[in-house]
Amino acid sequence: MVIEEANALLEEGYDSDQVSMMSEQVILVDESDNPLGPMSKVESHRGEGVLHRAFSILLFDENDRLLLQKRASHKITFPSVWANTVCSHPLHIDGELNANGPLGDGSKVAAVRKMEQELGIADGDVPLEDIFFITRMLYRARADEIWVEHELDHILFARTTSDLHVEPNPNEISETAWVTQTELQEWLEDPKETRGTIAPWFRLIAENILPEWWGNLDGLPTHADHLIRDMGEVKMSNNRQSPDDSKLGVLTALKSHKDAVETRIIAALSKSENEILGSAMMHLIAGGGKRMRAILPWLVADAVGNSNDGLYDLGASIEIIHNFTLVHDDIMDNDSVRRGRPAVHVEYDHPTAINAGDAMLAVAFEVLAESNHFDDKYFRELVRIIGSMVRRVSEGQQQDMSFEDRDFVEEDEYLHMISGKTAAMFTTCARTGALLSGASSEVVSIMTEWGENVGLCFQLMDDLIDATGDSETLGKPACSDIIEGKQTLIAIHALQQSGDVLPNFNEIFGSGIEDTDREVLDTVVNELRQSGSIQYAYDKAMSFHTAAHACLDQLPERESLQVLRDLTDFQMVRIS
């Protein structure tokens, strides 16, 4: 930074120590994290900003509490907000640039330097070898009209103890706090942010990445990946009340419509005069859920045309069909747990589960027929489209089962299968929502394509979560697809690799041993990461994510379209 720029910042009233650090040279990178060269902090953070490398380290103590810091009030960017233990930048210098070394090693060196500079943690108190690179995220967050963060963040993890000596530098940090998972969750959910504002990058980590970690901190290093999680553009957390502002808008939108579809679903499934059958039909519905498929037709209609209460009837019908497919899928796939509770055939018995599924399909079409919001033309078209959806879901399920008898499945076959089994329902929600909104045939086609891409992204993310999540988070056994020998895109890629690269995967894949030790599964997941199989599936999911956004970009801009953009992004962190 030249003297004139420094003087200008000082004249604007910024702290002199903070101004001096703005001359440090950060590492510019492309969106694949390839270094492009140096640039001063002031240049890379001012105006529109320039993408550069950053790091966020999270220290957990022996009680699984996370150390947080509150940034000092005279910080130039994002003053007085709460963030993770330390968040800063590896510099364009030897040791931290680390152009040819293992991924994240330069950021770990930078983390040791900044923990001492900001928190007074002595060199060696958190040894370099005890710091682990876990994953990466890409985001952009504006602090104000002048300053912006546009970063590819290396996320680091380390264990320490609660008696760690911490002596915050008051020029950097005003407060620190150790928080439990529950305490942080309450903080995140507090709309008034009583304890203070949370930095946008840390909110991204806390909401989208930490839930994957907190239940298995000791095994976390084995879950390190090469993923770059594209979080898009985010805003300050205290601006997150509006559905148009951020990903929280998706949850807000779903919550605001949930009661309308829920009452219709419950009323329809309560028609049965047989108590056992009625209870079996309600079993999965009673397990909760956001009802995304049920609400999606209304959200699409509101974004591209006109919405009305008939869209809730339509959504209730589709949601009931979705749950009917789950009841039968669990029988065919021999899955004993769904949404953290016993599957219907386990809670009752196989004949009752089959009968309940059949009845739910009938009830779904009753809901459509009894709605007062569809004329004959629309009703016939809806029956045709939804009937086609049920057929495609069944075809996809049959194709999926046929894969079980084959040693090798082509990628195109797998994508065709999930297009029917999973994406068809998203496609139908989007298509029918646009149709009932009065949108043009061109817009209906665009939204149909959008639904297909979102559905494909959704299923690929589901596969990734099954492989990398834990049983408590999933509500079903972790790595169940691998244990059962499911031909997911991860498995298809892995099976094409040399057996020497994935010895544990090849042993566990299709073994059927549900109580496989967690440590063994961690080894399998690590092999899938190192072989590039997890990255391959993630990249494919991202391609559908990009295609979905391209569909929305063709539509006239209107305020209600934003929730569909947010929902498209939120697929990358998973709505179920």
- Please tell me whether residue 227 adopts helix, strand or coil conformation: coil
Amino acid in position 524: V
Amino acid in position 272: S
Q: Is the dihedral of CA 239, 245, 251, 256 positive or negative?
A: positive
User: What's CA 209's distance to the chain center, in Å?
Assistant: 8
- Work out whether strand 66-71 and strand 173-179 pair parallel, antiparallel, or are unpaired: antiparallel
Q: Tell me where in the chain the CATH 3.90.79.10 domain(s) lie.
A: 3-239
pLDDT at 325: 93
Per-residue pLDDT of the chain (576 residues; tens, 9 = 90+): 444 554 444 344 444 454 555 678 999 999 999 999 999 998 899 888 999 999 999 999 999 999 999 998 778 788 889 999 999 999 999 999 987 889 999 999 999 999 999 999 999 999 999 999 999 999 999 887 788 999 999 999 999 999 999 999 988 899 999 999 989 988 988 877 888 899 999 999 998 888 878 878 888 888 888 899 988 888 764 433 333 344 566 777 888 888 899 999 999 999 999 999 999 999 988 877 778 899 999 999 999 999 989 999 999 999 999 999 999 989 988 888 776 678 899 999 999 999 999 999 999 999 999 998 888 778 999 999 999 999 999 999 999 999 988 889 999 999 999 999 999 999 999 999 999 999 999 999 999 999 999 999 999 988 888 887 654 444 445 677 888 888 999 999 999 988 888 999 989 888 888 778 888 888 888 888 888 888 888 889 888 988 998 999 999 888 889 889 888 887 655 433
Q: What CA–CA distance (Å, rounded) separates 330 from 354?
A: 10
Token digits for 214? 């907190």
Q: Which of 447, 466, 452 is nearest to 537 (CA)?
A: 466
Q: What CA–CA distance (Å, rounded) separates 219 from 223?
A: 7
Q: What CA–CA distance (Å, rounded) separates 240 from 224?
A: 30
CATH superfamily, with its number, for domain 3-239:
Nucleoside Triphosphate Pyrophosphohydrolase (3.90.79.10)
6 sits in which H/E element? helix 3-11
Give bridge partners of residue 83 from the DSSP assignment: 69
Q: What CA–CA distance (Å, rounded) separates 548 from 561?
A: 13
- For residue 504, give Cα distances in angstroms to 148, 404, 449, 524, 530: 45, 20, 39, 6, 13
pLDDT at 6: 45
Beta strand residue intervals within 284-417, DSSP E? 337-338, 341-342
pTM of the complete model? 0.60
Instruction: Please list, in sequence order, all residues whose beta carbon lies within 8 angstroms of the beta carbon of residue 247, skipping any fewer than 6 positions away.
Output: 207, 234, 566, 569, 570, 573
Q: What CA–CA distance (Å, rounded) separates 192 from 175?
A: 20
Q: What CA–CA distance (Å, rounded) separates 340 from 473?
A: 9
Give bridge partners of residue 234 from the DSSP assignment: 141
Q: Is the Cβ–Cβ distance between 71 and 126 less than 8 Å? A: no
Beta strand residue intervals within 128-227, DSSP E? 131-142, 148-159, 173-179
Amino acid in position 425: M
Instruction: Please list, in sequence order, all residues whose beta carbon lies within 8 angstroms of the beta carbon of residue 269, skipping any fewer than 6 positions away.
Output: 278, 281, 282, 285, 320, 360, 363
CATH says 248-570 is which class?
A: mainly alpha
- Please tell me whether residue 52 adopts helix, strand or coil conformation: strand
pLDDT at 39: 93
Amino acid in position 250: V
Q: Tell me where in the chain the CATH 1.10.600.10 domain(s) lie.
A: 248-570
pLDDT at 571: 62
Helix runs in 163-309, H state only? 181-189, 200-208, 210-213, 248-269, 275-282, 292-304
- Please tell me whether residue 226 adopts helix, strand or coil conformation: coil
